[in-house]
Structure 1
C-alpha cells in the first residue's frame, strides 16, 4: 500500500478518508487532485500542465491521492472506490459547502469558494453514476487480481476496510460487494 487512490463522487468522503488514512499509516504524502486540476478562482489548469503534474505524482514512491483521474487510477497499487448513493453525496457536499460557502477548502487553491460552483457540483454528483462510475468499475474489474481494491458502498463497509488497514497494511482486500460480483 504505497500508492493509494481514493476515488468516488463529489461529497463521497474522499478527502476526509485521505486524512484518516494518512494518520493511520503515519504518512504525510496526501495529494488532492483538486489542487492539480484547479487554479485560483476556479480556473481549470490546462491539459498539458495537468498531465505533467500527474506524471510527477505517479513517479513518487508513495502517495495518498484523492480525486478522479485515470492516470492516477492506473498508477495506484491500492484503490478505494467510495460508491455512496447520490443522496449521501448530496448531503455531505451540502454540509461541506455550508462550511466553505465563501472561502476555499484547505485542499483547494485560493479564491475557490463553494458558492461559485454549487450548480456545477449538483450536476457532477447527479452525472457521476452515468459518466465516471462505469470507467472506474471497468478498471477495478480489469485489475482486481493485481491491486488492492476496496469497493465501499456504506459506512459499515468503510469501517471494516479501515480496520483491515489498521491491522494489516500489506494485503489484498475486496469488499463483500466486490467479492459477490456487484463490481463490474
Structure 2
C-alpha cells in the first residue's frame, strides 16, 4: 500500500544476528509491558514461534522482498542498507543535508 506512494524505498537488510539480538533484547527488557509501538493491552512476551520466523526470514521472506524491490528499480530510488554502520552513515548524512 505504501510502495506506490513512495519515491524512495529504504530496505534494512541487516544480518540475521542483529535482528535476533534486538528481538531477544526487547522480549527480555520489555517482558510483560506494552511498548509505545504496540496496541494497548498487547504485552511483550517470549514467543518462540515469532523468534523462529525472525531467524527463518532470510530464506522465507527476504528473497521475495528483494525480487519485488528489483522490479521497482526503474521507478523508485531504492537504498539497501546492509549493516549498522551503513544505517548510522545514512542517518548522519540525512541530518547533515537537512538540518
Q: TM-score, normalised by structure 1?
A: 0.48
Instruction: Give the alignment's Cα RMSD to 1 decimal.
Output: 1.9
Tell me the CA shift for residue 146 of structure 1. 2.2
SS at match of 1:95: helix
May I ask how many residue pairs the two structures share in their alignment? 98
CA distance in 1: counterparts of 2:72 and 2:93, whole angstroms: 20
SS across alignment from 1:161: helix
Distance 1:164 1:149 in 2: 16
User: 2:72 — aligned with what?
Assistant: 143
Shift of 1:158: 0.8
Q: Give the secondary structure class of the aligned counterpart of 2:39.
A: coil
Gaps spanning 5+ residues in structure 2: where? none
The counterpart of 2:13, out of the listed 46, 60, 83, is: 83
Q: Which one of the candidate residues 94, 100, 108 is aligned to 2:24?
A: 94
Higher strand proportion: 1
Deviation at 1:109, TM superposition (A): 0.5
Match of 2:83 in 1: 154
| 1:103-126 deviation per Cα after TM superposition (whole angstroms, max 9, x unaligned) | 1111110121221x5112212212
Gaps of 5+ in 1: 1-70, 170-184
Deviating beyond 3 angstroms after TM superposition, the runs of 4 or more aligned structure 1 residues are none
Distance 1:168 1:138, change over 3 A: farther
CA distance in 2, matches of 1:130, 1:90: 15
Deviation at 1:101, TM superposition (A): 0.8
After TM superposition, give the deviation of residue 151 of structure 1 in Å. 0.6
User: Which of residues 83, 92, 98 in structure 2 aligns to 1:163?
Assistant: 92
- Aligned-pair CA distance for 1:154: 0.6
With normalisation by structure 2, the TM-score equals 0.81
